[in-house]
A and B are shown apart, each in its own frame.
Chain A
Amino acid sequence: MDFSLSDDQELLRDTARAMLTNECPTTLLRAHIDDPAAADPLWTHLREFAALATGACSDLHLFAEELGYVAAPGVFLPTVAMAAPVLGAIGDERVDAIVAGETTATLAVAGADGVWLPNAEPVKTFVPEADRVDWIVVVDDGPSVTVAPAGEAAARAVETVDFSRRMFEVDAQGSSTAVDPAALDAALDRVTVIVATELVGNARRLFDMALAYAKERIQFDVPIGSFQAIQHRLAECSLAVERATAAVQYAAMTVEADDADRRRAVHVAKAAAGAAAARATKDAAQVHGGIGYTWEHDLHLFIRHACGSEAWMGTTDWHHDRLGDLLFAA
């Protein structure tokens, strides 16, 4: 079991971090609230990394953590991390165009209940960026996959609190292709791990903001971070974030190796990510005090993304329940 990063992986992470710090400031997130086109300049940089779509899961996972750290909006994650693996599972050649950064797509799975499992319902929910991509990839029970042009689908925006991910209800019809259930499972596990990783990056941002504020905010003539009550809160929060970081890395490795522990590891990853984000949300808000719940402070941009992401693709409770099924089936 080797969790060390190769030189190439460290380079990828550092490059992604530097690029996203420059190209996805919080001013972009705020502009994106009213104008989704504000994320377009970011896409021109992100498309350079579109080849990660078919690369090693552990590489895409490193990139996704950086995306979450800046709560990057736009079509990259739906295209590269979500639609591509499912297109790959049916051998669809549009994957090549995704890898080349020439086309965009999103993925539709959940039905009315929002549960991320294949179903027969015509209307799919919680489909990200459905109005700003070229293709909508729909998973139905069977299982089968339909790839429909986004322009021909009926899409209704569903407002959520998350300013970094725009959600839609979509009715996209077309001719479907049967997909090997095992291949689909593997593809959806890859999707879940990457989304979980993105959420861990977001949780780490919340934690880092809280830690920085605890060191600079003076009350009673000293930094509030010198108080044990704050120190212990942040120590526990950092444990939750570190644990989740390791859990998603492990899960990415099991997906990459198609390891026997993959299914458990994926549920652990999303549950741990959700728990860390929930904890970091509350701790960051508490440590920031009054300033933390103002509109002008950037904290809420990340709190909103955490709330949206925790609920999406299976809440922590939902993944615990699936994990319980696996533990009691053994």
Chain B
Amino acid sequence: MRLAWGEEELAFRDDLRAFLEEHVPVEALAGFDTADSHADERDEIVPQWARDWQATLFDHGWMIPAYPPEHGGRDATPIQTLVYLEEMATRRVPRSLHFPGYAIVAPSLLEFGNDDQQRLVPAAIRGDTIWCIGMSEPNAGSDLAGLQTRAVLDGDRFVVNGQKVWTSYATIAEKCFVYVRTDPDAPKHKGISLLIVDMDTPGIEVRPLRHLTGAAHFAEVFFTEVEVPAENLVGGLNDGWRITQGSLAHERAGLWVEGVARLESTITGLVDLARRWGRADDPGVRRAIASVYEQAASLRALGYKGFASFAQGSSAPEHSYMKMATSELGRAAIELAMSIQGAYAAVHDPERGDERGRWVEMFFLSFANTIAGGSSEIQRNIIAQRVLGLPRA
């Protein structure tokens, strides 16, 4: 056990800091706040500065440090990757404003794609191609394997019919990872395949789906007799389910850092808010903020502890806890901020109250955090069954 990083990690961090000092688009980031984004258009969802920034990260080997240079990295070790994620999260510098390409498509293609498909990887990571992921359907949310979008192989092409929903970035994406049912008679996990689909293929209709905050970052996608070349199949036919588990394995052990950093920033905001609203001497408010701090600080420790197991090659059950815990605690912290504002918690009026509805907007946005990517209930099932070894019902 030791508190400080070793010299090798510190040198790595110095390199990163020097790069960030020189290249971070400071002004653009300062004016950028996802919480009040109501963007619909491509240039608003992924503005030019964000595209340039992602490309700069890639070109300097700082996009996915664990990858080799041709994939936007520098062959970083697991510990160096954690140092990287920690520094980016602390500075609140996002790598990219569209995660599907670099975080899901690229690692999945590198593991399961053929040579032609792997040629799509650099553009996915650099952000030159915007991707979306066609997974969830109206009747396949938490029960993802129940997806019903059909694809029938007809000679040298698949014909796809069905509907996807909650598809982030579908309004602006050029390509989509579409999970389809290719064997309706097989057990549900065994009849799924993965196709790469160009979003401008005839028969695809995208309808923006407004978030309750008003933003339209996701959509419904309808497929009607959509023809997809057979060579766009990723991995084996009916072998798509295991690819759904694909994400950045190199980074999975460190992804909690961002959630914890966001929590810490919220806590700083809470202390500041309590002062501005004359509640800094309220013992109940102080105790409640301290409780959030206690939980966030111990989650950070849990994240590091899990990383230590991961780096030593052991399974790291700690990570199963982090997504659920940071999203639930994040919302509790926002609720506390709303309670501090009393009657003004829900006020949006720019001339009344200092916050202009900032916290209540964050509260609404937090609904997605405990659902998307596996709801808190699904996380508890996973913890109970895979970590604690409790029997399935």
Q: Bound state CA distance, A293 and B351, in angstroms?
A: 58
Of the listed stretches A30-38, A79-87, A93-101, A257-265, chain B binds: A257-265
- A295 to chain B minimum Cβ distance, whole angstroms, is 28
- A253 to chain B minimum Cβ distance, whole angstroms, is 5
Asked if A254 and B304 make an inter-chain contact with CB atoms under 8 angstroms apart, the answer reads: no
Knowing A2-B2, A2-B308, the reply to whether A324 touches B393 (Cβ < 8 A) is no
Query: Which of B2, B298, B325, B384 is within 8 Å of A231, CB to CB?
Result: B384
- A229 to chain B minimum Cβ distance, whole angstroms, is 11
- B309 to chain A minimum Cβ distance, whole angstroms, is 8
Asked if B390 and A246 make an inter-chain contact with CB atoms under 8 angstroms apart, the answer reads: no
Q: Bound state CA distance, A253 and B305, in angstroms?
A: 12
Asked if B318 and A268 make an inter-chain contact with CB atoms under 8 angstroms apart, the answer reads: no
Q: Which residues of A contact B325 (CB under 8 A)?
A: 239, 243
Q: Which residues of B contact A2 (CB under 8 A)?
A: 1-2, 304, 308
Q: Bound state CA distance, A256 and B1, in angstroms?
A: 10
Q: Which residues of B contact A211 (CB under 8 A)?
A: 388, 390
Knowing A4-B312, A267-B294, A271-B294, the reply to whether A249 touches B324 (Cβ < 8 A) is no
A279-307: which residues lie under 8 A (CB-CB) from chain B?
none
Asked if B293 and A328 make an inter-chain contact with CB atoms under 8 angstroms apart, the answer reads: no
Q: Bound state CA distance, A242 and B305, in angstroms?
A: 10
Asked if A238 and B392 make an inter-chain contact with CB atoms under 8 angstroms apart, the answer reads: no
Asked if A253 and B287 make an inter-chain contact with CB atoms under 8 angstroms apart, the answer reads: no
Chain A contact surface mostly: helix
Q: Bound state CA distance, A253 and B297, in angstroms?
A: 14
Q: Mark B373-393 against chain A: 1 for CB-CB distance below 8 A, else 0.
A: 000010111011101111111
How many A-B pairs with Cβ below 8 Å? 164
* Contact of B158 with A by CB under 8 A: no
Q: Bound state CA distance, A234 and B5, in angstroms?
A: 34
Q: Bound state CA distance, A230 and B380, in angstroms?
A: 11
Q: Which residues of A contact B311 (CB under 8 A)?
A: 4
Asked if B301 and A249 make an inter-chain contact with CB atoms under 8 angstroms apart, the answer reads: yes
Asked if B2 and A328 make an inter-chain contact with CB atoms under 8 angstroms apart, the answer reads: no
Q: Bound state CA distance, A5 and B379, in angstroms?
A: 28
Closest Cβ neighbor of A231 among chain B residues: B384
Asked if A259 and B3 make an inter-chain contact with CB atoms under 8 angstroms apart, the answer reads: yes
Q: Bound state CA distance, A227 and B280, in angstroms?
A: 44
Asked if B297 and A264 make an inter-chain contact with CB atoms under 8 angstroms apart, the answer reads: yes
A211-230: which residues lie under 8 A (CB-CB) from chain B?
211, 214-215, 222-223, 225-228, 230
Asked if B391 and A222 make an inter-chain contact with CB atoms under 8 angstroms apart, the answer reads: yes
B303-336: which residues lie under 8 A (CB-CB) from chain A?
304-305, 307-309, 311-312, 317-318, 321, 324-325
A302-330: which residues lie under 8 A (CB-CB) from chain B?
317, 319-321, 323-325, 327-328, 330
B281-298: which residues lie under 8 A (CB-CB) from chain A?
283, 286-287, 289-291, 293-295, 297-298
Query: Which of A5, A247, A259, A317 is within 8 Å of B298, CB to CB?
Result: A247
Knowing A1-B304, A3-B305, A327-B271, the reply to whether A234 touches B384 (Cβ < 8 A) is yes
- A63 to chain B minimum Cβ distance, whole angstroms, is 14
Q: Bound state CA distance, A247 and B302, in angstroms?
A: 7
Count of A interface residues, CB-CB < 8 Å: 56
Asked if A234 and B390 make an inter-chain contact with CB atoms under 8 angstroms apart, the answer reads: yes
Knowing A231-B390, A246-B302, A328-B280, the reply to whether A238 touches B383 (Cβ < 8 A) is yes
* Contact of B63 with A by CB under 8 A: no
Asked if A243 and B384 make an inter-chain contact with CB atoms under 8 angstroms apart, the answer reads: no
* Contact of A45 with B by CB under 8 A: no
* Contact of B133 with A by CB under 8 A: no
Asked if B1 and A231 make an inter-chain contact with CB atoms under 8 angstroms apart, the answer reads: no
* Contact of A92 with B by CB under 8 A: no
Query: Which of A58, A249, A275, A330 is within 8 Å of B305, CB to CB?
Result: A249
Asked if A327 and B384 make an inter-chain contact with CB atoms under 8 angstroms apart, the answer reads: no
Asked if B304 and A246 make an inter-chain contact with CB atoms under 8 angstroms apart, the answer reads: yes
Q: Which residues of A contact B321 (CB under 8 A)?
A: 238-239, 242-243
- B265 to chain A minimum Cβ distance, whole angstroms, is 14
* Contact of B299 with A by CB under 8 A: yes
Q: Bound state CA distance, A236 and B381, in angstroms?
A: 11
Knowing A232-B384, A234-B388, A253-B2, the reply to whether A323 touches B271 (Cβ < 8 A) is no
Q: Which residues of B contact A206 (CB under 8 A)?
A: none
Asked if B3 and A253 make an inter-chain contact with CB atoms under 8 angstroms apart, the answer reads: yes
Asked if B3 and A238 make an inter-chain contact with CB atoms under 8 angstroms apart, the answer reads: no
- B13 to chain A minimum Cβ distance, whole angstroms, is 12
* Contact of A272 with B by CB under 8 A: yes
- The 4 tightest CB contacts between A and B, nearest first, are A231-B384, A324-B286, A247-B298, A246-B301
- B residues engaging A (CB < 8 A)? 1-5, 267, 271, 274-275, 280, 283, 286-287, 289-291, 293-295, 297-302, 304-305, 307-309, 311-312, 317-318, 321, 324-325, 377, 379-381, 383-385, 387-393
Q: A2-B2, A234-B390, A243-B302 are in contact. List 10 more A-B contacts (CB 8 A).
A: A226-B390, A231-B380, A238-B387, A243-B321, A246-B305, A246-B318, A247-B294, A249-B305, A268-B298, A328-B286
Sample 26 A-B pairs with CB under 8 A, ordered by A number. Answer: A1-B4, A3-B301, A3-B304, A3-B307, A4-B312, A211-B388, A225-B391, A228-B381, A231-B384, A232-B380, A235-B388, A238-B388, A242-B318, A247-B294, A247-B298, A250-B297, A250-B301, A257-B4, A268-B298, A275-B294, A320-B294, A321-B286, A321-B287, A324-B287, A324-B289, A327-B286
